[in-house]
Amino acid sequence: MAEQTFIMIKPDGVQRGLVGEIIARFEKKGFYLKGLKLISVERAFAEKHYADLSAKPFFSGLVDYIISGPVVAMIWEGKNVVVTGRKIIGATNPAQSEPGTIRGDYAIDIGRNVIHGSDSVESARKEIALWFPDGSVNWQSSQHSWIYE
Ligand code: IDP
Ligand code: MG
């Protein structure tokens, strides 16, 4: 199967009306949308998603942030989508994110950085299994041969 990543538009991105803009960036790049839902998650679920960060001082604030409103959970697929997705998103701290990236263009503070993207193929696999237990939607784009040589 082609590489997949888990992308989540955080509650601030939903509240600020950035859902369409963010989806458009991944679509126009040529990645394929293979899963999509608007969902509010409970504290225990958010803690599981961010389990690797449980020792960090900002952990409880981070969990409060993620459960503060609905998020848009997505699976995106394509060649190198994990690494390229992180580039489209930009550096964790928007103060260091390049203009042209999502965080560089739409965020100011690290604790309100609009979007999440898996940091490796292995975390993508885990995060997709957590957020999409039924797996991804199987479809093929009719544009495939216009995007890949
Ligand atoms: P990432 O989202 O770029 O992968 P991580 O280090 O995995 O960054 O951190 C997860 C999320 O935790 C960040 O996107 C951000 O929302 C939040 N976060 C990270 N560092 C801080 C911090 O120092 N203060 C507040 N929130 C932070
Ligand atoms: Mg991370």
CATH value at residue 99? 3.30.70.141
In a domain, 107, yes or no: yes
Q: How many structural domains comprise the chain? A: 1
* Domain encompassing residue 105: 2-138
pLDDT of residue 16: 98
In a domain, 90, yes or no: yes
pLDDT of residue 78: 98
pLDDT of residue 111: 98
| Angle value at C-alpha 120, between 7 and 73, nearest 5 degrees | 15
Ligand 2: centre distance to CA 147 (Å): 28
Residue 144 burial class via C-beta count within 10 angstroms: exposed 0-12, middle 13-18, buried 19 and up:
exposed
Token pair of 113, please?
């950085």
pLDDT tens, the chain, 149 aa long: 799 999 999 999 999 999 999 999 999 999 999 999 999 999 999 999 999 999 999 999 999 999 999 999 999 999 999 999 999 999 999 999 999 999 999 999 999 999 999 999 999 999 999 999 999 999 999 999 999 99
In a domain, 60, yes or no: yes
- Residue among 9, 49, 113 to mutate when testing ligand 1 (max atoms within 8 A of CB): 113
Does the pTM surpass 0.95? The reply is yes
pLDDT of residue 137: 98
In a domain, 71, yes or no: yes
In a domain, 146, yes or no: no
Beta bridge partners of 10: none
In a domain, 147, yes or no: no
In a domain, 149, yes or no: no
Q: Per the annotation, where are the binding residues? A: 10, 58, 86, 92, 103, 113
Helix, strand, or coil here: 72? Answer: strand
pLDDT of residue 8: 99
